[in-house]
Amino acid sequence: MVTTFESELRAVPERRYHHRHPFNLRMHQGLLLPEELRTWILNRFHYQRHIPVKDALILAKLEDPALRRLWIRRITDHDGGDGDEGGIERWLRLGEAAGLDRADLLSGRGVLPGVRLAVDGYVNLCRHGTPLEAVAASLTELFAPDLMATRIAAFERHYTWIEPVGLAYFRTRVGQGRRDSDEALSLVLSWARTRAEQEAAIAALSYKCELLWTLLDAVERAPA
Ligand SMILES: O=C(O)c1cc(C(=O)O)c2c(n1)C(=O)C(=O)c1cc(C(=O)O)[nH]c1-2
Amino acid code (one letter) for 203: A
Percentage of residues of the chain with pLDDT beyond 90: 97
Mean predicted confidence (pLDDT) in 58-76: 97
- In this prediction, residue 147 carries a pLDDT of 96
In tens, the pLDDT along 29-45 reads 999 999 999 999 999 99
**Cα(207) to centroid of ligand 1, in Å?**
14
Q: What CA–CA distance (Å, rounded) separates 224 from 212?
A: 21
All structural domains of the chain, each given as residue ranges with its CATH number in brackets, are 4-220 (1.20.910.10)
**Cα(167) to centroid of ligand 1, in Å?**
15
Q: Is the per-residue pLDDT at 82 higher than 90?
A: no
In tens, the pLDDT along 140-154 reads 999 999 999 999 999
Q: Across the chain, what does the average pLDDT equal?
A: 97
- The reported pTM is 0.96
pLDDT band at 93 (very low <50, low <70, confident <90, very high): very high
Amino acid code (one letter) for 115: V
Percentage of residues of the chain with pLDDT beyond 70: 100
DSSP, collapsed to helix, strand or coil, labels residue 81 as strand
- List all residues whose CB is within 6 A of at least one atom of ligand 1: 51, 138, 140-141, 144, 147-148, 173, 212
ipTM comes to: 0.97
Q: Is the per-residue pLDDT at 2 higher than 90?
A: no
Q: What CA–CA distance (Å, rounded) separates 47 from 171?
A: 18
- In this prediction, residue 1 carries a pLDDT of 78
**Cα(40) to centroid of ligand 1, in Å?**
14
Q: What CA–CA distance (Å, rounded) separates 3 from 11?
A: 12
In tens, the pLDDT along 160-176 reads 999 999 999 999 999 99
